[in-house]
Amino acid sequence: MPYTLSCVRSSGLILAGLLFCSALAGAQEWECASVIRSNGELFLTADFWDPVYAISATLADRYGVSVSVESPRWAFPSDAQDVALADPEFSARHNNVHYLVMKPHIVQIRFAAAGEQSPAPADIQRLLLQLANSANKVLPYAYRLDAQDGDYVLVPTKTRNSAGELEEVQPLLDRHVSISPDSRPIAEHAELMADDLSRQTGLHISCCQSLVAGVPWGGQVVPFQAHDEPAREVLRRLIRLEEKENAEGASSRHTAWHSPYDHWTVECDGTGAPWCFIEVRGKFSGDCR
């Protein structure tokens, strides 16, 4: 299962509201990878229904490594498990909730580090390739790593269909979108991008509901447009624009500064419900420290 991570996953509209609520809440301890130091190396291990997200969230929170994760949809029943079996403690903490998640898998990466230092910049791409390769060996779907100007994105390229056959998929944010020119809040531009993706796919897609220091992300009104551009590039431009407006607003004391939200997650309900959530993310939140 893909993750902001949500408190609940379901195949119905009722739990969609709970998903939205949890998306605002951000990472919790149970989403994080374990971190063990041995012989000058750090081992990050996730035994979770979305281990790629768990490791990526831990890298961002503890070590400032920003990597966006676009988790795949999945459809093969044997890949799923009731959350009460996958994570009994989580289910118990949420009123013994029941819904389907991807069966847990174990993924591990390691890197050399002195103290609690982050991986060297030159090593980050190699580290993330290690994450993609490790995940592709054990998960019933596959990722590619996109790298551009220091931005890294793990993008799903294969998944199992309802018959259990591995097949190529078009990643959601590979699709092209257009946004008519106008001055709007940044979050509204992002929602128009999501609306275009919804029209193309027939899914219910939203973007971006994150709170930053208690304030909804992307409230600044700015001119923006997009013409037949990959949605991923549109989202990247909006995130950078929000960072710029955030910094300039703080320097002019018109608005309060908040820590940058510089990457994103995509999570799509794999239980058959047509929901996908795009959320912006930041580093050093403290949840996975």
For the chain, domain boundaries = 14-282
Nearest CA-CA partner of 102 in 123, 120, 87: 87
- Give 10-residue mean pLDDT values along the chain (289 residues): 32 34 37 88 91 94 92 86 86 88 92 74 91 96 92 94 91 97 97 97 90 79 97 97 84 64 88 83 82
Angstrom distance (rounded) from CA 79 to CA 1:
10
- Give residue 250's pLDDT: 60
- Determine the pLDDT at residue 118: 76
Question: Using CA atoms, how far apart are residues 47 and 54, in angstroms rounded to an integer?
Answer: 9
What pLDDT is attached to residue 229? 98
Per-residue pLDDT at 257: 66
Cβ 1 vs Cβ 101: under 8 Å: yes
Q: What is the pTM of this model?
A: 0.84
Full DSSP string of 24-85 = HH---GGGSPEEEEETTEEEEEEEESSHHHHHHHHHHHHH---EEEEPPP---GGGEEEHHH
- Angle subtended at Cα 210 by Cα 207 and Cα 215, rounded to the nearest 5 degrees: 125
Q: Which of 34, 74, 79, 38 is nearest to 57 (CA)?
A: 34
- Tokens 């991008």 -> residue: 193
Q: What's the CA angle centered on 35, arms 32 and 65, to 5 degrees?
A: 70
Please tell me the predicted confidence (pLDDT) of residue 58.
Answer: 94
pLDDT of residue 83: 86
The per-residue pLDDT for 146 is 96
Nearest Cα to 82, choosing from 63, 66, 104?
104
**What is residue 270's predicted lDDT score, i.e. its pLDDT?**
65
